[in-house]
């Protein structure tokens, strides 16, 4: 439960920062109620969240946006660059490779993996694609801590196990089969199928 709570907080801080990047173009300070409004939250929640990054604004002027971004970044981001691998270079995997490229300064995508001989050895969106058999060696050589799974569903469990055995500590799983909870490993499920089925259900 504590983990769940803090996951939500990380999501909110991530969102605050993205909104602050936009806001800083037009102003220097922001009040908690204004930040709440553009981040689908409420002012009390915003103030509680920002207390945990160790920055309190002034009651008169609100938060200094530049300083606030710096405090959120110090809290959220890894101290050094973290290496990331993606397993499964199909349509979704390739979209993620591109999506990823120009966004995360502190995350460095070092390799993609697939079993398809047409992809192995090639460069996909600027990232080299290896055979999945090389997963363990690349992960340990490059000291990779974050792994993305975008294979088809039958491979999910095997890939997750290989990742963890090789040293991965955070998994983002885009397949429609959930990765079983593994002690000490953070697993984020992005369940696109469920999102579509929910959207369909709530049109009723």
Binding site for a second copy (CB under 8 A): 7, 10-11, 14-15, 18-19, 22, 39-40, 76-78, 82, 84, 91-92, 94-96, 98-100, 103-104, 106-107, 145-146, 153, 169-172, 176-178, 180-181, 186, 188, 190-204
Q: Which is nearer to a second copy, 74 or 133 (CB)?
A: 74
- Environment class of residue 64 by beta-carbon count within 10 Å: exposed (0-12), middle (13-18) or buried (19+)? middle
Residues with Cβ < 8 Å from 38, sequence gap 6 or more?
A: 19, 23
Residue 90 CB, nearest approach to a second copy (Å): 8
Q: Which is nearer to a second copy, 59 or 91 (CB)?
A: 91
Residue 30 CB, nearest approach to a second copy (Å): 16
Residue 9 CB, nearest approach to a second copy (Å): 10
Q: Which is nearer to a second copy, 59 or 203 (CB)?
A: 203
Strands 123-124, 127-131: pairing is: antiparallel
Residue 78 CB, nearest approach to a second copy (Å): 5
Residue 58 CB, nearest approach to a second copy (Å): 27
Alpha helices of the chain — where are they, by DSSP H? 2-23, 32-38, 43-51, 65-76, 91-101, 135-141, 156-166, 192-201
Q: Which is nearer to a second copy, 51 or 58 (CB)?
A: 51
What gap in Å lies between CA 143 and CA 126, rounded to an integer?
A: 20
> Hunting for tokens 């983990």 — which residue is that?
3
Q: Which is nearer to a second copy, 21 or 134 (CB)?
A: 21
Instruction: Estimate the crossing angle of helix 43-51 against helix 65-76, to 10 degrees.
Output: 60
């Amino acid at each position: 439960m504590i983990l769940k709570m803090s996951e939500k907080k990380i999501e909110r801080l991530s969102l605050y920062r993205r909104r602050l990047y936009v806001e800083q173009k037009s102003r220097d300070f922001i009040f908690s109620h204004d930040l709440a409004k553009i981040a689908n939250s409420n002012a009390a929640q915003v103030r509680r969240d920002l207390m945990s990054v160790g920055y309190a604004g002034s009651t008169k002027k609100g938060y200094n946006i530049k300083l606030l971004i710096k405090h959120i970044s110090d809290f959220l981001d890894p101290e050094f660059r973290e290496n990331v691998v993606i397993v499964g270079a199909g349509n979704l995997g390739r979209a993620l490779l591109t999506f990823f490229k120009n966004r995360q300064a502190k995350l460095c995508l070092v390799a993609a993996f697939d079993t398809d001989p047409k992809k192995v050895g090639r460069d996909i969106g600027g990232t080299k694609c290896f055979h999945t058999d090389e997963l363990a060696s690349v992960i340990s050589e490059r000291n990779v801590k974050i792994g993305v799974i975008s294979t088809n569903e039958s491979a999910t469990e095997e890939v997750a196990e290989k990742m963890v055995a090789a040293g991965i500590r955070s998994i983002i799983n885009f397949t429609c089969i959930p990765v079983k909870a593994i002690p000490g490993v953070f697993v984020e499920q992005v369940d696109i199928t469920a999102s579509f089925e929910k959207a369909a259900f709530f049109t009723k």
